[in-house]
């Protein structure tokens, strides 16, 4: 854990992951899938289904970056992942239904403590988003988040999904800041690891009470939620 006074003094911008860090992806999508399954008479556990969906999406995103044959849009990765998960669950579906489920991502709302935490943090730092989402998806999501970030950056600008180093590099270029003066915040260990290995400071939001794991790229802060982050950094 870093010296908090030094971290506060040297941080110029706080850069947030959006899906699962700012917005409650698991809960929000579970409710969308619950309604969809109820309408279709499907008994599959919606929470478990969303976990399949998200894990498949993550795997496909990493494959896309590692193959390095051009960046596939987040939405397209989502369509493939939902289609796979529905097939795995034995749920008959249409392409329109797949598209509707993925589009629900833009309507996800923040975790309860996030608006207040962002309001406090913005008094001291520039605040920005760095997301794997497509540019248009992030733009459509802004009214549902209800907070005006100084920058909203899609990995489309880099041509790779996080945690590829180029995504964090492009974010630092857009913010026009040295990497060491940016605190990157995420609910995901892979994202914090990627940002830390690039040279940013990192804060891990440990909502699920899980160990960060053995890696040389340990976070500078581990907090239970965004409220605790604001308490420490303001």
pLDDT, tens digit (0-9, with 9 covering 90-100), for 11-20: 999 999 999 9
pLDDT, tens digit (0-9, with 9 covering 90-100), for 61-77: 999 999 999 999 999 99
pLDDT, tens digit (0-9, with 9 covering 90-100), for 99-128: 999 999 999 999 999 999 999 999 999 999
Short-list 159, 219, 139, 138, CA closest to 186? 219
Kindly list the strands in the beta sheet with 13-16, ordered across the sheet, starting from the edge strand earlier in the chain: 151-154, 126-131, 13-16, 182-186, 201-205, 221-223
Cα angle vertex 70, ends 69, 71, to 5°? 130
Q: Domain spans of the chain?
A: 4-24+108-233, 25-107
The model's confidence at residue 165, banded by pLDDT at 50, 70 and 90, is very high
Element (H, E) at 186: strand 182-186
Q: What's the pLDDT score for residue 87?
A: 98
Judge if 4-24+108-233 and 25-107 fold alike in CATH terms: no
| Cβ atoms within 10 Å of 141's Cβ, excluding its own | 22
For the question of whether the overall pTM of this predicted structure is more than 0.85, the answer is yes
**What residues pair up with 152 in beta bridges, in sequence order?**
129
DSSP string, 98-115: HHHHHHGGGG--B-TTHH
Q: What's the pLDDT score for residue 17?
A: 98
Give the CATH superfamily of 25-107: Putative phosphatase; domain 2 (1.10.150.240)
| Domain 4-24+108-233 bears CATH identifier 3.40.50.1220 | no
């Amino acid at each position: 854990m870093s010296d908090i006074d030094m971290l506060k003094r040297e941080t110029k911008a706080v850069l947030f992951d959006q899906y699962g860090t700012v917005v409650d992806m698991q809960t929000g999508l579970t409710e969308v899938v619950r309604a969809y399954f109820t309408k279709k008479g499907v008994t599959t556990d919606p929470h478990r289904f969303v976990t399949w969906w998200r894990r498949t999406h993550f795997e496909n995103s990493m494959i896309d970056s590692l193959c390095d044959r051009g960046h596939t849009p987040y939405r397209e990765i989502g369509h493939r992942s939902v289609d796979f998960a529905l097939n795995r669950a034995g749920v008959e579906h249409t392409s329109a239904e797949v598209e509707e489920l993925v589009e629900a991502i833009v309507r996800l709302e923040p975790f309860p403590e996030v608006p207040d935490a962002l309001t406090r943090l913005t008094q001291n730092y520039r605040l920005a988003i760095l997301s794997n989402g497509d540019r248009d998806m992030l733009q459509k999501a802004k009214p549902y988040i209800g907070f005006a970030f100084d920058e909203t950056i899609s990995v489309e600008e880099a041509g790779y999904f996080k945690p590829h180093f180029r995504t964090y590099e492009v974010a630092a270029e857009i913010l026009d800041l040295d990497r060491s003066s940016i605190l990157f915040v995420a609910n995901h260990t892979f994202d914090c690891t990627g940002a830390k290995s690039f040279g940013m400071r990192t804060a891990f939001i440990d909502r699920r009470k899980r160990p960060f794991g053995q890696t040389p790229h340990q976070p500078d802060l581990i907090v239970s939620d965004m409220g605790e982050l604001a308490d420490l950094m303001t």
